[in-house]
A and B are shown apart, each in its own frame.
Chain A
């Protein structure tokens, strides 16, 4: 099973040179720590920053420079600042090459639920609905099962939906999967030490695989 850091590390392998990327809160934020050498990606933060840099040194902290998770950040050379309407204009018009976000549930047709647990958590959707409705390429970072062992990769989401038919790829503590256009989770890679049987047992939705020989994830 992967740690959340390893999930982030595996997601970082999906980055390509020149990508504009929006990273959600939680595990997705950690992806920034594993950007492969020799690759330039530009991070977009939906509160109005393109070219987000790393966290500041304590003497460089600026209250007027935060990311969408309200953490203090820095700007890379060549960064740009803009207002919230313009930020979502670039999201809605498909200029962001990759969106990485967390989820509570994903269904086998690519629906995602990540914003509300009725009666428990009602904090609001923030920018998640806008991001999932318009992103061309969405990778979800999540735990394969809940703490009490229930699958989060389902036939249908049980929680309120954030967006329909939008998730392309899922990277969990157990596996890398893609959502097939015709529905179903195709198993692409296994986490080290995790068997196909383990993944089948942890997946409620339909799990497909092209061969019985599913490769293990590779970490450099």
Chain B
């Protein structure tokens, strides 16, 4: 039976070479691949282009790789909550491409679905439209956007099996399933690897074909950005 389980992340993360383009799952700090980000930090790889909805906070998530200047270019939809990011961007040390969140998600989905381009109304009449082809369908103007792919995707799921099948929990799903589909090599870290055959095939979110390696991480920090409770 197929076995995609890896017991150590390092040798696989170390294959991400200088200048690579990587997709990193998560929304804010929810559903980020904590263990893979730590391994990237340790690997010292440089000049990364990171495609991720956000850029972490100063001392967690992708913020860790910003601090060590391992990221050359950030492609994201929202990058607030990160002072180091702002500093590097304003000093011209970091290239930044801001993309509307739905366009970012659909570009990744399209990239993973073998679709080179599509049309969306988001950004028409704004600076996002500059230099982009537009077309009118049924009297509405749309922008052409290209599918996105990457050398590697590092993603986080809740449970998985040796076949690479994944299930996510709560809103930690976000960009993870679409990024799983859009890279040459997808490294999925999960909280629990269960015996193959025990996940209900009806309930699998990411079919194993998209996952190259699966790793069981321990002791997830799962930091909360905005702890909000009712009294």
Interface residues of A (CB under 8 A from B): 45-49, 54-58, 61-73, 81-85, 87-89, 91-92, 111, 122-131, 133-134, 160-164
Contacts and interface: CB of A to CB of B under 8 A. Distances in A.
A88 B102 CA distance: 5
Contacts of B79: 122-124
Nearest to B224: A63
B114 interface: no
A81 B171 CA distance: 7
Interface residues of B, number: 54
A84 to B, nearest CB: 4
A133 B175 contact: no
Nearest to A47: B27
Contacts of B172: 64
B222 interface: yes
Given A83-B178, A123-B80, A125-B78, A91 B171 contact: no
B123 interface: yes
A63 B173 contact: no
Contacts of A123: 78-80
Q: Chain A at the B interface: mostly helix, strand, loop or mixed?
A: loop
A72 B172 CA distance: 12
A155 to B, nearest CB: 16
B77 to A, nearest CB: 5
Contact of B105 (A54, A84, A125): A84
A91 B102 contact: yes
A124 B76 contact: yes
A125 B169 contact: no
Interface stretch (B11-19, B65-73, B125-133): B125-133
Nearest to A54: B230
Contacts of A160: 126-127
B102 A161 contact: no
6 contacts: A49-B170, A64-B158, A70-B225, A72-B228, A73-B228, A81-B173
Nearest to B82: A123
